[in-house]
């Protein structure tokens, strides 16, 4: 309900009388009741509050205006947020200069850009930010907390936007923690036995960003492009899950765009890598237990120093909880020799069997715990899908869905669902990080094909353009959304007015002219 003085947010739960009142002048947030909402208020439906943010013009309220049901996890509805609205507290913009108006428009376009990226999910009754194993090992006090209080801050993408709500426990029920990543759910049948199969990928909001602008780790040990992927099976009340994580190589390095197709990675020489490296794995061990690192970078060329440094640091750390395997993905699988991936699977088999998976029976009793995590964009997804299939094979046999000796690969209907879901997961994670669909998804869906190679070439071309000419804006937008940069209304000089280098303007023009000349030459030759 919108009036010139206030926003009123009404809870639509059965029997709920609470109304959230947000003063558009003082920005104060209080609780009231339905009868206090003026009849003159303009009413519109919303599906959740994403939070508030301060821009040049003042404070804005961000709300979810459209949603799509993804499915249900244990009878809890899971939604994808598909549209948002950014509402100004201010009734007019007359208090702004022309320059401030322009800056405000740019900041609004940044927010709109982040919100336009597919993959924001929420539930009003289920905690999407935690794995099944974390949720099963919680205290009664944890169970009594609101979703906002108990959510894993790594995966709450609107944590910064909800900071004012977090400070007032009485209004927590109006705050919706939102995760970013990918969720898919399928009701499946093998041998006439029906089960639910889910795939959930949670992107971390710590050290979040785009492909070449965010690499390595920060001083706290947070790795860039960190994603926790959980595969869940639900059959006759029993629940099983298998968790893997992926992230950038966890020491200090960068790979800034410089117009080259693949900029050379630069390992920082002026910092103590071991501090951040140690913090990263201490955090991983606390969260997941033993670590089996699968490093898939090239062991020659520009990526070679990354692999060598990683191996050296794992050895220097001398932690028995961390094991390391390097697999040169591109060398081993060159010329479409995907059968070579079995070499890696054989190397990992014993460790994976030891680490097991998480299983709760229909009585709620924990039968097994997963004692580890595989810590490994494009090539990662291929390996993760193979490891997850191997775990799923064991789970479905344990639950009695698969007969002894049966293999998942032989179940044609399920295999198609499985491969497509993992390809969709790869595309979602790649679009969020690199700006285009994933490479090598034709392997995930089945066989590597010539058409797949052509599509990889096209996506690589789009990535090249975005990496060099539009990813700076994307990175700024993410930093604004997550609170890494805060707008100061009285800031003397906006960073938006930093003078751009002449190359920034000249190079796109040169590329357009060169491309046009190429087309003209081809037409004349024809």
Q: Which range among 19-33, 275-289, 330-344, 470-484 shows the weakest confidence by mean pLDDT?
A: 330-344
Nearest to 484 by CA among 24, 79, 157: 157
250 Cβ neighbours under 8 A, 6+ residues apart: 216, 217, 221, 223, 276, 277, 280, 281
pLDDT digits (tens, 9 = 90+) for 168-215: 999 999 999 999 999 999 999 999 999 999 999 999 999 999 878 899
H-helix or E-strand containing 58?
strand 58-73
Number of CB atoms found within 10 A of residue 86's CB: 15
pLDDT digits (tens, 9 = 90+) for 332-382: 888 777 788 898 999 989 889 988 899 998 888 888 778 665 555 457 888
Report pLDDT for 471: 75
Can you spell out the DSSP letters for 275-323? HHHHHHHHHHHHHHSEEEEEE-S-SSGGGHHHHHHHHHHHHHHT-TTEE
Helix, strand, coil % over all residues of the chain, rounded to 5: 40, 25, 35
Residue 500 has pLDDT above 80, yes or no: no
Number of CB atoms found within 10 A of residue 320's CB: 6
205 Cβ neighbours under 8 A, 6+ residues apart: 153, 154, 155, 156, 157, 159, 180, 482
The span from the CA of 418 to the CA of 522, in Å, is 43
The span from the CA of 259 to the CA of 468, in Å, is 6
What is the CB-side half-sphere exposure of residue 148 using CA atoms within 13 A?
23
The span from the CA of 248 to the CA of 296, in Å, is 11
H-helix or E-strand containing 349?
helix 341-355
Domain boundaries, the chain: 45-478, 487-525
pLDDT digits (tens, 9 = 90+) for 444-466: 555 556 656 666 666 666 666 66
Report pLDDT for 377: 47
pLDDT digits (tens, 9 = 90+) for 146-166: 999 999 999 999 999 999 999
Number of CB atoms found within 10 A of residue 336's CB: 14
Express as a percent the part of the chain with pLDDT over 70: 84
Residue 329, exposed/middle/buried by CB under 10 A (0-12, 13-18, 19+)? Answer: buried
The span from the CA of 357 to the CA of 392, in Å, is 9
């Amino acid at each position: 309900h919108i009036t010139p003085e206030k926003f009123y947010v009404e809870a639509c739960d059965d029997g709920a009388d609470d109304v959230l009142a947000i003063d558009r002048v003082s920005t104060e947030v209080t609780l009231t009741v339905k009868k206090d909402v003026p009849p003159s208020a303009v009413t519109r439906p919303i599906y959740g509050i994403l939070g508030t943010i301060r821009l040049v013009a003042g404070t804005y309220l961000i709300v979810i205006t459209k949603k799509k049901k993804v499915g249900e996890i244990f009878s809890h509805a899971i939604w994808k947020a598909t549209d948002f609205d950014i509402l100004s507290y201010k009734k007019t913009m007359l208090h702004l200069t022309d320059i401030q108006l322009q800056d405000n428009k740019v900041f609004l376009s940044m927010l709109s850009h982040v919100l336009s990226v597919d993959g924001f999910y929420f539930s009003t009754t289920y905690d999407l930010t935690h794995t099944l194993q974390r949720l099963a090992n919680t205290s009664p006090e944890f169970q009594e907390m609101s979703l906002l209080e108990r959510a894993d801050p790594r995966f709450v993408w609107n944590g910064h936007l909800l900071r004012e709500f977090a400070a007032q426990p009485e209004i927590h029920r109006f705050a919706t923690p939102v995760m970013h990543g990918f969720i898919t759910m399928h009701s499946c049948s093998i041998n006439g036995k029906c089960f639910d199969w889910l795939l959930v990928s949670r992107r971390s909001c710590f050290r979040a960003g785009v492909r070449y602008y965010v690499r390595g780790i920060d001083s706290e040990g947070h790795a860039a492009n960190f994603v926790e992927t959980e595969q869940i099976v639900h059959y006759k009340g029993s629940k099983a899950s298998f968790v893997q994580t992926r992230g950038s190589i966890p020491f200090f390095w960068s790979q800034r765009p410089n117009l080259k197709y693949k900029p050379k990675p630069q390992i920082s020489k002026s910092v103590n890598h071991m501090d951040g490296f140690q913090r990263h794995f201490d955090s991983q061990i606390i969260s997941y237990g033993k670590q089996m690192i699968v490093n898939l970078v090239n062991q020659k060329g520009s990526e070679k120093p990354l692999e060598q440094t990683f191996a050296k640091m794992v050895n220097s750390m001398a932690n028995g909880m961390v094991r390391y395997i390097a697999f040169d993905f591109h060398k081993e699988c060159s010329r479409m020799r995907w059968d070579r991936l079995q070499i890696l699977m054989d190397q990992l088999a014993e460790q994976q069997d030891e680490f097991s998976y998480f299983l709760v029976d229909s009585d709620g009793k924990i039968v097994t715990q997963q004692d580890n995590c595989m810590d490994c964009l494009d090539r990662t997804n291929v390996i993760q899908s193979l490891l997850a299939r191997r775990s799923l094979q064991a789970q479905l046999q344990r639950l009695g869905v698969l007969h002894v000796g049966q293999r998942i690969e032989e179940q044609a209907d399920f295999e198609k669902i499985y491969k497509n879901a993992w390809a969709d997961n790869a595309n979602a994670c790649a679009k969020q990080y690199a700006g285009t669909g994933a490479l090598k998804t034709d392997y995930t869906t089945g066989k590597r094909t010539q058409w797949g190679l052509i599509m990889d070439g096209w996506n690589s071309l789009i990535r090249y353009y975005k990496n060099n000419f539009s990813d700076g804006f994307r990175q700024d937008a993410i930093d604004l959304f997550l609170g890494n940069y805060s707008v100061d209304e009285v800031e003397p000089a906006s960073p938006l007015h930093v003078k751009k280098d002449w190359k920034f303007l000249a190079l796109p023009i040169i590329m357009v002219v060169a491309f046009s000349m190429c087309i003209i030459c081809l037409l004349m030759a024809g």
